[in-house]
Structure 1
């Protein structure tokens, strides 16, 4: 079950986050914290993040939601997991990096919450449709 859930959540997360990063918020991050951004992405680190984060969604959110047969659990636990994990990143950056703005912190924290809740809920419904 775990690998199937992972295989469902991975493309869902990637598609939604790439839409956000590549289209919706691309100019936002550059305008807010452009001096902190690398000119080229470290894809190894980015891919490792995605793999680990999605494993967290499956372990802490999606599998329990499937066991409970509750899309509401997927939604709210996903929101909580996204909030806590993105808060760790954003608030640490706000505390330690010159030029990391409160605006970026709040927008990114909201995004992480919505993203993770959405991925967990969409993945839940896909998993149910395929009998996982």
Structure 2
């Protein structure tokens, strides 16, 4: 893909996944859980359903690699990786949040704004990490 070695692709995916999973786990279990419980507690499961979560993470990280990191490597620009990651995060999380805002009782604009900001930040930082790790292999 784009003339990259398998090692570069694996580094991009692995680096992105490690940072994305690690930071999001911290957000969902420590930093943001109180906010979500207070805002949408009635909608939350006692225990998350891990299979759909795992599938989201696997596919979303692949999206970050394909839409942010590989084009950034082609351009030789860490800033491209960061900005494209932020843009993809805002788009993906925004799709989820705006759909919820338009269809769910009790879903507020505040939840959407915070969640979208989180998605942009998390995706940008993760794409940047994946870019730098992949860059080490080129």
- Bucket of the pairwise TM-score, normalised by the shorter protein: over 0.9
The equivalent position to 1:29 in structure 2, one of 28, 36, 40, is: 36
Unpaired runs of 5+ residues, structure 1, are none
SS at match of 1:80: helix
TM-score between the two structures when normalised by the length of structure 2: 0.90
After TM superposition, the runs of 4+ consecutive aligned structure 1 residues lying more than 3 A away are: none
Q: Aligned-pair RMSD on alpha carbons?
A: 1.1
Q: Deviations over 1:18-41 (max 9, x none)?
A: 111111101000000001111110
Q: What residue is the counterpart of 2:127 in the other structure?
A: 120
Is 1:86 matched up with 2:93?
Answer: yes
Is 1:131 matched up with 2:116?
Answer: no
Unpaired runs of 5+ residues, structure 2, are 1-7
| Aligned-pair CA distance for 1:6 | 1.1
TM-score between the two structures when normalised by the length of structure 1: 0.94
Instruction: Provide the C-alpha distance between the structure 1 equivalents of 2:137 and 2:9, rounded to a whole number of angstroms.
Output: 13
**How many residues get paired?**
131
SS at match of 1:48: helix
Instruction: Provide the C-alpha distance between the structure 2 equivalents of 1:65 and 1:131, rounded to a whole number of angstroms.
Output: 14
